Every structure is written in structure tokens, then in C-alpha cells.
A and B are shown apart, each in its own frame.
Chain A
Amino acid sequence: MDDSYLALRAIHKRFGAFTALGSIDLSIRKGEFVCFLGPSGCGKTTLLRIVAGLETQTSGSIVQAGRDISAAPPAERDYGIMFQSYALFPNLTVAQNVGYGLVNRRHARGQIAARVEELLTLVGLPGSGGKYPAQMSGGQQQRIALARALATSPGLLLLDEPLSALDATVRVHLRNEIRALQRSLGVTTIMVTHDQEEALSVADRIVVMNHGVIEQVGTPLQVYREPASPFVADFVGKVNRLHAVAEGDHWFRCGEKRLRCLPGMGADFRPGSAVALYLRPEDRVVGAVATDDPLHCAGTVRNIEFLGGNCLTEIDVDGLPGQPLQLQYSLNQMDEFGVRQGARVSFALRADRLRVFPAEAAA
């Protein structure tokens, strides 16, 4: 018996001839915050809607808290849901919206009012129960939708792109609040998002999806540091891709450089096979590097993209013709090492962070 609260087994979804989801297996522990992450059309929302019973999987089973809900209609499942549009009832007051699911459970009127006020306080909007949704800002509406979803104390909270309709600053603020609230309530939560930064910052585990299949399931750090596929490496964070040729024993030749990656960071390749090396812009050592170090590189700054506290530089590296590297410098490092357009810089690649994939998979 595993400790999973929600288990998806071999979920398939076809729309006519189109396969939206192909064999999804996933198990979520109680109290976990899981993000479905992927580009639009990858099937993440479809998967969420299948969990909610708003779509029905073509085959496969769903077990929630030990109960098989594969064929249960939405009303017979236990979850609260928040949509991108919030779906607040515009003609009902905030209090009526939050208490919408409570009224039906034959609670006493005073009890409902108390619970509604408790929930509004929980989401930081005490005393606003008499207003209509149209009188609130987008961020406030989102909180009300959250309070409504939590009102009936569901075992599972489903969030469908809850933040994508908001301004950038409100978005960052609210995602931290959702995270804190989720921690304190301990409610198992699934959030769908296409924003990798959002997923990395709030999730306990991230499910990266593409073309209807799961590319990787892991903690944010795992997904970022040890992407399981070229797609994950490309989609989550920035990455350099270098064409290289395997030489055996984890050695790879890239231009005139020879690099050896850690044995755990990718399968060994037959000597002579074409591979792609993936390296994050921050995976380099700057400063005093011995020039006889095999990982030592020198190059000319071609272009600088200013990003605030950090800058992304594009560098033509000696010995890597036609494959400029993107490296990240903090603003202080820019001054310290005199990084300017056209300047010469030297650094060492962190070969221990290299990820290797077959070249055709990366295409």
C-alpha cells in the first residue's frame, strides 16, 4: 500500500483521432503542492479537468483517498476548484459567493456567516462580504474565489492557471500567499501553470508535460538541475545547447574543447555519436582560473542583455566557433571583471553540471 492520496493510473484521453493525453501515471501524497507545468496545448489543463470530472478520460483510473472516482460525476467527487476566470457569481455578494456551497448543507445561518467571515479573514479580506465581485480588483476576486473553493474544506484543491490574469507584481505576491495558505491548511493542491518561475517557486513537486505525456516529475531543484529531457532543460530556465561528439567514458569533444561530465548526468554514449550538451548560464566559474585547466575558456563579449540585478552576456568562445555561449553575470561581477561589449573575458565551465542528451532528441 503506497501513501498516495491521489493516484492516476494509465490515464488516456483522446478527442477523435487526436491523443490529448497518453498514459499518464502519477501519484500525489497528502498535503503535497503539485504543479502541472507545460506549454499551452500540452494537456495539463485537460488532466486537471479529468481529475475534477469535467472531462472523462478515455481509459485509466483515478483513486482519491482510497475511493475509485474514475466514473464519478463532478458532484460526487471531493475537491474545490478555482478557474483562471475565477467564475465568481456576479449577481451575488462576496459573502453569498463564499457561502454558496455552505448554504446547501443545511447549516444554521449564523454558523454560515461565521464561517464566511473566517474564510474572508483567511484570505485577507475581512469585512468585505457585502460587496459585489465587480467592485473588487482582480487580485481580490481571486482571493474570494479561493475562499469559496476552500469553504467546504475539500480534501483536494485544484487551481487552473489561477494567476495568469493578474499583473506581474500582484501575481508574485499572491502566489506566495497561496503557498503559505496551502501549507497552513495542509490541503493537497494541484496547480496548472505555464509559468515555470511560478511552478519553481511554489511547488513541492513539478510535473512537466509536453504533447500529452509527462516529461519529468520531480522537485523544483531536480527539474532545474537534472532535467530528464532536452524539452525540460529548454522549457525550465535558460540553457546553452552545444553540439558535441561522444568520445567514450563520459568524454565529449565540443569544438576544440574536451569536456567530461559526471557519470550520473546522462547515459554514456557510443564513441562517435552526436550529442547535445546542456549548460545553464550560471554554471561557470569566473575569476582566477588556471589557464592550463582544461575547462578554462577565453572569449569576446559579443552582446549584453541587461536584466536588472543580473546580465546575460553572449560570448564568442575561442575554440567553439559558431556556438556562442550565454553566461550570466551579476551586476557587481560585470564591474569587477570589466565585462563590456567587445571585452575579453575568461572563465571555466562547470563540467559537473553538464547534461548530455542524444543530438536527435534535442533537435
Chain B
Amino acid sequence: MNAMAAAVRPVALRQRVHWADRVGNFGLLGVLLLLGVGLVAPLLLILSKAVDAPEGAAVSGASAVSGWSAFAAYLASPALLTSLWHSVWVSLLVTAIVLPLAFGFAYALTRSCMPAKPLMRTLMLLPLLAPSLLSAISLIYWFGNQGVAKDFWLALGFTGIYGASGIVLAECFAVFPHVLMILVTALSLADARLYEAADALGTGTVRKFFTITLPGARYGLISAGLVCFTLVITDFGIPKVVGGNFNVLATDVFKLVIGQHDFRRGAVVALLLLLPAVITFGIDWLVQRRQTATLTARAVALVPRPSRGFDAAMTLYCLTIVGLVLAMFGMAVFASFAKLWPYNLTPSLDHYVSGLVDGELADALVNSLKLAASTAVVGTAVVFVGAWLLEKTRGFDALRPVVRLAAMLPMAVPGLVLGLGYIFFFNAPSNPLNGLYQTLPLMVLCTVVHFYTTGHLTMVTALKALDAEFEAVSASLKVPLYKTLWRVTLPICLPVLLDVSRYFFINAMTTISAVVFLYSPDTKLASVAILNLDEAGDTGPAAAMAVLIAGTSAGVTLLYLAAGRLLDRRTQAWRAPAR
């Protein structure tokens, strides 16, 4: 009887679906639809455009073949190969420079008793508040044709700042904070017991470093290296400003699409850009999966012990780096206030007034604020609802892995590629969403999707930290799902929600790569305006605009911090138990 039942495998019993679960399932479909429209469809269109038959080729059966051969022919063209080679070696070089430097800084922050660690850390993260090309603009003021230290640069043997050397230097500054954050996280996850065991066995400092510290941080190092490489190879703001005649893939896409309207070739290059990002994404995913097992809940946090010589050396090292970053950041600020570079350096608001206000670029800043505020609200709401539906509702088990993957995918898609996909998808006359093209709502969608993954992962982590049985208890008490969401889950997650919202705001404020393809004269953004000003030779106003963005971001960050304090006091009293 049993054997027979097993052989027949009767259809498994299914529970009746409660109406609240059904609503949740529809919500999940909605999230999938949003990611489908905002991410998957545009990407698929790039793919199909890349292998499209070139103009004038034979129709019908032959088109696919000639499309592929055109694709292959273009891939093999010397111009593209040169750009590819440039992109790869520049990215590798930047990674090789930044990784050890940032590791040293992270090591000082986590393993030394250096004074003023929070301040050092904050200063290092400052560049994140401005568009990445701020460092390129500063570089021009330092080492450009009229730069204050041009002779020093030439004395080093470089022919000028425009070209590979400029790109590498500017990228180093731009990606340093990103790499630093990952490495700090990796190095702060240390188990003091391992070091105590090593001490008990009489292990030397160097051996401890190579047998405990480095292996413990290796996943972080891999991850940081991959992020660094991907950020550099997909960034186009810096090569655009200081690249000169040095072509890389990212600027090629821009030139092909915006300059020559050659969408097909643009799509081919975009696919090439997608490649390293996808590989990175895959490796990172594998690494993350293995990492979960390395640190147990019973680990004891490592507290660094003071050591005069080591601490002094680390302080000196960090001060040097901080000094360089401040010099970089400060130069743009200084130059934006200089009356007439380099002849008259008296402070004035000329670049702000005549360069920006008279240039009718104040609207751009307003547009940027609108975009950032909308993204902060919409993005946070979508990410929270999506993560909550994924983690806390039942049913639709087959769909869940798909939504999970779709939420991870944006991380692997460079902004340039995403923006190009949006042109193909939303500018198509046959698309009913065509009316959205070049409007603010579309830019909001694009930005939300572009930065979806980080917000999603933060939210999922926060939700996973909640007891998995809250929903089960609620069901047993006959309390509907949404009520527990409102009374318990949402209040507990508020601080995280605020963090995610700030992340969206800052990124929407500083992003260039995706939206550069999507604006119209009416919806031009501040970050894009920097690019245009620089192209027109108005480096002063460009710097002023970058400083304005950074200032706005900094102000908003402070507002968020204040709001967070207030929120903590009003709603998070339960966190600090007074026994």
C-alpha cells in the first residue's frame, strides 16, 4: 500500500490561500513586473540591437546571420580592440594601486589604536557625496595646462594630465571610498579567539597576519577588487573629462550613441561593458555564499591593543591619504570660488552666479533635487515592500527565486548599459510607455532600478534579523498580515528605511551614467550639467556645480542624521532596555 502510494506520487495537498496571502502574491507579481519593465526588457533590447542586421542588409532568413557576422566583424575592429585593451589595463592598474592602499587604511581603522578614527573615516567617505568626476575636475586644476602643480607632474615624466595617467589618478580617488568600505567591513569581522590561540602558541606578528588576518579578509579583498575593477571599467565621467584622446569602452558608447547616433555599435560596446560586470557579479555571488560559514555567532570581537610605534606609523599613513583626498576635494571647492583661474584667485561667486544662474542651470539643480527626492521616496517604498513580500509572505514559491534574482541583477548592470537599454525600450514608437521617455518619472524608474540591489540587500538583511515566527504568531492570533506589518515590522525597520532612503537620495544626486541618455532640455540634471559645462570649456562653473551637488548631498545627509536621532528617541525606546 505504501509502496504503491509512493509509486503513484499523488498530487501533494495544498492549503487554501488566505485572502491576505493572495494580495501579497499579487504584490510580488507587481514587483517582478516593475523589474521586468525597468531592467529585463531594456537589457534584452540591447542584446537584440547588437545582433541586428546593419542597415540595408537582406531581410528575412539572412538577416540573423548577417547580424551576427556584423557583430563579430565589429568586435574585431582595431578601434574597438584598442579601447578594450585600454579599459582593461587602466582598470587593472587602478585596482592594483587602490587595493593595497585601501587595505592599509582599513587595517589602520580596524586593527590599530589610531586617534580620531571616526573623523578619518568620515573624511575618506566625503568623495561619495559628489559625482565621481569631481576628482577629474580637481585634477585639471592641479596638473592641467594651467594647473598649479603642472611642472611637478611633467617632472614625473608624464606628458600631461589628459590621457591614461589622468584617468588612473582620478579613478584612484573616485573608487577609494567604495573599496575602503568593503575592506573595513571585512576586517572588522575578526574573531579575537583565533588571535588568542595564536598568541598562546607563540606565533609571530607577521605569521599571524598571513595565517589569520589575510585569510579572514580574503573574501572581502576579492569582493573589493572586483568592485574596483567594475567601477573603473564602467565609469565614463572621468575618462570623458581627463581622457583626452585616450579611448576607453565607456566613452566609446557615449560617443557612438550621442555623437554618431550609431545605436547598433553602441549596443555591441555596451554588451562588452556588461561582460566584466556580470563576471564580477557571478564571482561575488559564489564568494558570498561561501563566506556565510566563516564567522559564527559565538565569535568574540577583536579589540585592538595600543602599540606606540605601530599606531604612530598608521596615523602618519592615514593622515597622508586623508591629506591627499582633502587636497583633491578642496581644490575643486577652492577653484569654484576663484575669480579668474589662474590669474586672479580672490574668492568670488562669479562661477556660481554668472556661470550657473545666468547659464540657466539653476533649473538643473532643482531637477536633480526632484529626482533625488522622488527616488528616495519611491525607491525606499518599492524596495521595502518588495523585500517584505519576498521574506514575510507565503505562497508563489516558484516565483520567489525569480524575484530574488531580478533584485540582484541591477548590481551587475552598469549605468551606461541600463541607460542605453532605456533608449531602445522606451523610445520605441510601438511601446505604449513611450510617453514617459525623457520625463522625470522615467529617470526616477531608471535610478531606482540602477541602485535597487544595495537597497534590497540592506532591507532583506534587516527583515531577516526579525524573528521568523512573527507572522506565524499573528496568524494564530487571527491578526491579518498587514496589521503586523504596520504595528511591528515597519516600526522596527524605520532606521534601516531611513538609511536606504539616504542611499537612494545621494546616488540619485550624483549619478550620471544612466540618466545621461534620458534627459531632455527640460529635465536636465545637475550632474549631467557638469559634463556639458566641462565639454564647453567652462571648467569653473563645472567645478561650482560639482561643489553644489556635494554641498546638497552633505546637507541632506545631516538632515537624515538629525531625523534619525529624532526617530530613535520617538520610536526606538524599546531598544535600550532600562532594567
A residues whose Cβ falls under 8 Å from a Cβ of B: 12, 14, 22-23, 52-54, 56-60, 70-77, 79-81, 83, 85, 87, 89-92, 100-101, 103-105, 132-135, 148-149, 151-152, 154, 158
Can you list 20 pairs linking A and B with CB atoms under 8 Å apart? A14-B12, A53-B15, A56-B14, A60-B13, A70-B13, A72-B15, A75-B475, A79-B476, A83-B467, A85-B467, A90-B574, A91-B492, A91-B572, A91-B574, A92-B574, A101-B477, A104-B483, A134-B575, A135-B578, A151-B477
Type the 1/0 row for B1-18, where 1 means its CB is closer than 8 Å to any CB of A. Answer: 010010000101111111
Query: Which of A54, A71, A132, A148 is within 8 Å of B14, CB to CB?
Result: A71
CA distance A267 to B406 in the complex (A): 62
Query: Which of B17, B476, B577 is within 8 Å of A134, CB to CB?
Result: B577
A residues in contact with B17, CB < 8 Å: 73
Residue B579 at the chain A interface, CB threshold 8 Å: yes
Among B93-129, those with CB < 8 Å from A are none
**Max chain B Cβ within 10 angstroms of own Cβ: one of A74, A133, A148:** A74
CA distance A148 to B574 in the complex (A): 19
- Asked if B21 contacts A92 (CB within 8 A), the reply is no
* B525 CB, nearest partner CB in chain A, Å: 39
- Asked if A132 contacts B476 (CB within 8 A), the reply is no
B residues in contact with A92, CB < 8 Å: 487-488, 574
Q: A87-B469, A101-B478, A152-B478 are in contact. List 11 more A-B contacts (CB 8 A).
A: A71-B15, A72-B16, A73-B15, A73-B16, A75-B18, A75-B20, A75-B480, A76-B18, A83-B472, A87-B467, A132-B574
* A102 CB, nearest partner CB in chain B, Å: 8
Residue B158 at the chain A interface, CB threshold 8 Å: no
Known contacts A23-B2, A73-B16, A135-B579: A91-B488 contact under CB 8 Å: yes
Residue B324 at the chain A interface, CB threshold 8 Å: no
CA distance A57 to B10 in the complex (A): 12
Residue B470 at the chain A interface, CB threshold 8 Å: yes
- Asked if B476 contacts A52 (CB within 8 A), the reply is yes
- Asked if A134 contacts B574 (CB within 8 A), the reply is yes
A residues in contact with B472, CB < 8 Å: 52, 54, 74, 81, 83, 87
- Asked if A148 contacts B575 (CB within 8 A), the reply is no
B residues whose Cβ falls under 8 Å from a Cβ of A: 2, 5, 10, 12-18, 20-21, 467, 469-470, 472-480, 483, 487-488, 491-492, 571-575, 577-579
Can you list the 7 inter-chain pairs with the closest CB atoms, starting with the nearest? Answer: A101-B477, A74-B475, A87-B469, A134-B577, A132-B574, A73-B18, A135-B577
CA distance A347 to B193 in the complex (A): 51
* A7 CB, nearest partner CB in chain B, Å: 16
* A100 CB, nearest partner CB in chain B, Å: 6
* B7 CB, nearest partner CB in chain A, Å: 14
A residues in contact with B467, CB < 8 Å: 83, 85, 87
- Asked if A81 contacts B473 (CB within 8 A), the reply is yes
A residues in contact with B476, CB < 8 Å: 52, 74, 77, 79-81, 101, 149, 154, 158
A residues in contact with B5, CB < 8 Å: 12, 59
A residues in contact with B18, CB < 8 Å: 73-76
B residues in contact with A134, CB < 8 Å: 574-575, 577
B residues in contact with A60, CB < 8 Å: 13
- Asked if B469 contacts A83 (CB within 8 A), the reply is yes
CA distance A133 to B577 in the complex (A): 9
- Asked if B16 contacts A71 (CB within 8 A), the reply is yes
A residues in contact with B16, CB < 8 Å: 71-73, 76
A residues in contact with B578, CB < 8 Å: 135
* A134 CB, nearest partner CB in chain B, Å: 4
A residues in contact with B21, CB < 8 Å: 73
**Max chain A Cβ within 10 angstroms of own Cβ: one of B18, B472, B575:** B472
CA distance A74 to B15 in the complex (A): 9
B residues in contact with A77, CB < 8 Å: 476
B residues in contact with A104, CB < 8 Å: 477-480, 483
- Asked if A100 contacts B12 (CB within 8 A), the reply is no
Query: Which of B13, B20, B477, B577 is within 8 Å of A56, CB to CB?
Result: B13
Known contacts A90-B574, A91-B492, A134-B574: A75-B13 contact under CB 8 Å: no
CA distance A132 to B573 in the complex (A): 9
- Asked if A71 contacts B469 (CB within 8 A), the reply is no
* A139 CB, nearest partner CB in chain B, Å: 14
Q: Closest residue to A77 on the B side, CB-wise?
A: B476
Known contacts A75-B18, A151-B477: A58-B577 contact under CB 8 Å: no
B residues in contact with A79, CB < 8 Å: 476
- Asked if B478 contacts A75 (CB within 8 A), the reply is yes
* A74 CB, nearest partner CB in chain B, Å: 4
- Asked if A87 contacts B14 (CB within 8 A), the reply is no
Query: Which of A22, A58, A87 is within 8 Å of B12, CB to CB?
Result: A58
- Asked if A87 contacts B473 (CB within 8 A), the reply is yes
- Asked if A57 contacts B13 (CB within 8 A), the reply is yes
B residues in contact with A71, CB < 8 Å: 13-16
Q: Closest residue to A11 on the B side, CB-wise?
A: B13
* A98 CB, nearest partner CB in chain B, Å: 10
Q: Closest residue to A132 on the B side, CB-wise?
A: B574
